[in-house]
Structure formats: structure tokens, C-alpha cells
């Protein structure tokens, strides 16, 4: 499994992605110092959740990383939260509908 690198705009880390229904997005690699806390949001009217891992790139790339659901769990409406980090990578998992997944650090 590959991973994505978020964009840097000014002094901020940003990532925005629409994730189709019944899909797990490609992980976004975030293991850079000084990017915490990290705001993460999912905009949905169906079912979606954010997951993160503390594992290294080899585990993420090899598909063996352990993924932890964010504290909001599965959501069915627009939801945002803060990940206090540091974490290695984050991804979005969707259910029956699509969702927009946003990271700002």
C-alpha cells in the first residue's frame, strides 16, 4: 500500500480528498515534527470514520499497520476533531456514501 503526502501551504499542512462510497482512502503520511495538534474533519451524510496509525512507513506500505478509529467513531454527519499527535498516518473509511476528508495542521 502506498501513502500520500499532504500539501504545505504557507506554514500549514493541508489535505482534502473526496472518498467514494465503500472505500478506504490511501493513507496520508503525517510523521513530521511540529505539526500538532492536527484538525481532521469528515463531511458526510452517510457513514464514515477517520482512522490513524502509529506504525512506520514499512508497515503502512506493507498493509500491516494497525489502524485506530478516531474518538468520534463512525459518523453520519459533518464532524471535526483534533488529533493531538504525533501520529504517523491518517485515512478515511466510508460506508454507503461518499465523504470529503480534510486535514489541517
**Total count of residues recorded for the chain:** 105
Q: Are 43 and 102 in contact (CB under 8 A)?
A: yes
Strand partners, 28: 4, 90
Higher pLDDT, 105 or 3: 105
**pLDDT of 13-25, one tens digit each?**
788 999 999 999 9
Domain positions in the chain: 7-104
Q: According to the CATH classification, is domain 7-104 in 3.30.300?
A: no
Residues 48, 95: Cα–Cα separation, whole Å: 6
C-alpha cell at 47: 457513514
> pLDDT value at position 87?
86
**pLDDT of 57-78, one tens digit each?**
899 989 999 999 999 999 999 9
Amino acid at each position: 500500500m502506498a501513502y500520500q503526502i499532504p500539501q504545505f501551504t504557507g506554514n500549514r499542512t493541508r489535505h482534502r480528498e473526496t472518498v467514494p462510497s465503500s472505500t478506504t482512502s490511501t493513507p496520508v503520511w503525517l510523521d513530521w515534527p511540529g505539526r500538532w495538534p492536527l484538525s481532521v474533519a469528515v463531511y458526510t451524510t452517510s457513514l464514515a470514520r477517520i482512522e490513524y496509525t502509529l506504525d512506520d512507513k514499512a508497515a503502512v506500505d506493507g498493509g500491516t499497520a494497525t489502524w485506530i478509529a478516531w474518538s468520534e467513531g463512525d459518523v453520519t454527519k459533518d464532524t471535526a476533531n483534533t488529533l493531538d499527535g504525533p501520529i504517523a498516518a491518517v485515512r478515511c473509511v466510508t460506508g454507503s456514501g461518499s465523504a470529503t476528508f480534510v486535514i489541517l495542521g
